[in-house]
Amino acid sequence: MHPKNLSIKDYTYSLPAEKIPFHPLEERDASRLLVYKKGIIQEDLYKSLPLIIAPESVLVFNNTKVVEARLIFQKETGGAIEIFCLEPDERYKDITTGMRQQGYVLWKCLVGGASKWKPGQVLQKIIKTGTHTINLEARFVEKLSDAFLIELSWNPFSFTFAEVLHYAGFIPLPPYIKRNPDTKDLERYQTVYAQQEGSVAAPTAGLHFTQQLLTALQEKNCTPAFVSLHVGAGTFKPVKAALLEEHEMHAEFFEVDIATLNLLKQNAGKIYAVGTTSLRTIESLYWMGVKTIKQPAIKAEQLSITQWEVYDTLAAAEIPVPEALESLLQWMQRNKLTRILSKTQILIAPGYNLKTIKGLITNFHQPESTLLLLVAALIGDDWKKVYNYALENNFRFLSYGDGCLLEP
């Protein structure tokens, strides 16, 4: 069956509120790990991963960094307007370019209290940094289909937008963590290897890893590989349509360098994705490789992966992973590129045949979500067995919860 015809009601379960922790454990790698291998379930801890993962595996991590994307402005009348910065306007080629803008930027945002903010009206905020005072202004430009276009400008102009968010904004905790962020979240709602600023949500599978755990994995000859996919707010967007065909998957920016691509090509069959965002990235790279085989002269902007093409126009391709990635590498060399910068809208759901991984390390996801659909694509109807086991044995769910290792 084509995933367009899937009913989201077939991918639901009852998640009691008490299963969702509002705070992380004191130790990242003390989180529990449900290990599912070929239908068998066992329990362990994240700190035991070096004993569980096969030696000489490659673990793919998403090194995106969560930015303080929530800005609170007070109107002169006393009302508050909350601006949640999602992604840059199309005039910027990627999130990194947008984050480096100085003095002025156009950004797509969600706006709390939008009905009280008139187009053209300017909101102002003064930020004290210790050595500088930043004057920040926000102007309502236009209403988009699913967001607002907001013009943000500041003085002194020497600050980048990333710096302005750092000084003025708040970490955007997921909506199911029903509390305000505190200083601990600045560290814990961030992976220890986060580098590339741009996410509005953490790649939560990576929150369980410590530097000591990463070192212990390398001592077992497990190699880390890093990709950057900037997680958008759409990751929390429930599937509200009855059929998946009516759901629009969020598109996300990602970046992968040529060394990582070579590593993935050379280690096909030994790859574990740490998190759904890492998995979506490397599956997208595979399909980009397929595109370069079909169209060797394809332009960079045509490489991006849309929601349904992997089921439709590309579906007939039965190309081995090394061959697809080698074609993508050759395309990069012809175009004198050292990294891939693109967007993916790939929706991985039952009916999709995963190409690139041996296993997935991930948290437990919300009912009726595209992330749960991805898990079901990997292990079939056994997702129910895994989630029932986790619920019956008091595993913690969602962002600050426990996780699982899934090997079909």
The domains of the chain, with CATH numbers, are 3-65+187-407 (3.40.1780.10), 69-169 (no CATH)
| Mean of pLDDT values over 382-401 | 98
Predicted structure pTM score = 0.95
Q: Which residue in 32, 33, 34, 36 sits closest to 407, CA to CA?
A: 36
Q: For the ranges 67-71, 117-121, 282-286, which has the lowest average pLDDT?
A: 117-121
The rounded distance, in Å, linking the Cα atoms of 257 and 260 is 6
| Mean of pLDDT values over 279-291 | 98
Residue 297: pLDDT band (50, 70, 90) is: very high
- Segment (H or E) for 168: helix 161-168
CB atoms within 10 A of CB 317: 16
Residue 250 has pLDDT above 90, yes or no: no
Beta strands 58-62 and 271-274, pairing class: parallel
Q: What is the pLDDT of residue 179?
A: 93
The rounded distance, in Å, linking the Cα atoms of 379 and 350 is 9
Residue 237 has pLDDT above 80, yes or no: no
- Let me know: does 198 contact 63? Beta carbons within 8 Å: no
The rounded distance, in Å, linking the Cα atoms of 201 and 62 is 12
89-115 pLDDT, tens digit per residue, is 999 989 999 999 999 999 999 999 888
Q: What is the pLDDT of residue 203?
A: 97
Quote the mean pLDDT of the chain. Answer: 95
Q: What is the pLDDT of residue 121?
A: 84
Q: What is the pLDDT of residue 154?
A: 97
Q: What is the pLDDT of residue 316?
A: 77
User: In angstroms, what CA-CA distances link 287 with 268, 276, 314, 355?
Assistant: 15, 17, 8, 9
Q: What is the pLDDT of residue 408?
A: 95
Q: What is the pLDDT of residue 236?
A: 66
Residue 325 has pLDDT above 90, yes or no: yes
Q: For the ranges 132-141, 313-322, 346-355, which has the lowest average pLDDT?
A: 313-322
Q: Residues 340-354, buried b or exposed e (16+ Cβ, 10 A)?
A: bbbbbbbbbbbbbeb
> Which three-class secondary structure state does DSSP give residue 21?
coil
Q: What is the pLDDT of residue 92?
A: 94
> Which three-class secondary structure state does DSSP give residue 265?
helix
In the chain, the N- to C-terminal Cα span, in Å, equals: 20
140-175 pLDDT, tens digit per residue, is 999 998 899 999 999 999 999 999 999 999 999 998
Q: What percent of the chain has pLDDT over 90?
A: 89
Q: What is the pLDDT of residue 173?
A: 94
| Mean of pLDDT values over 213-230 | 98
Ramachandran sector of residue 394 (left: φ over 0; alpha: ψ -120 to 50; beta: rest): left
| Mean of pLDDT values over 285-305 | 97
Q: Which residue in 54, 28, 51, 49 sits closest to 193, CA to CA?
A: 28
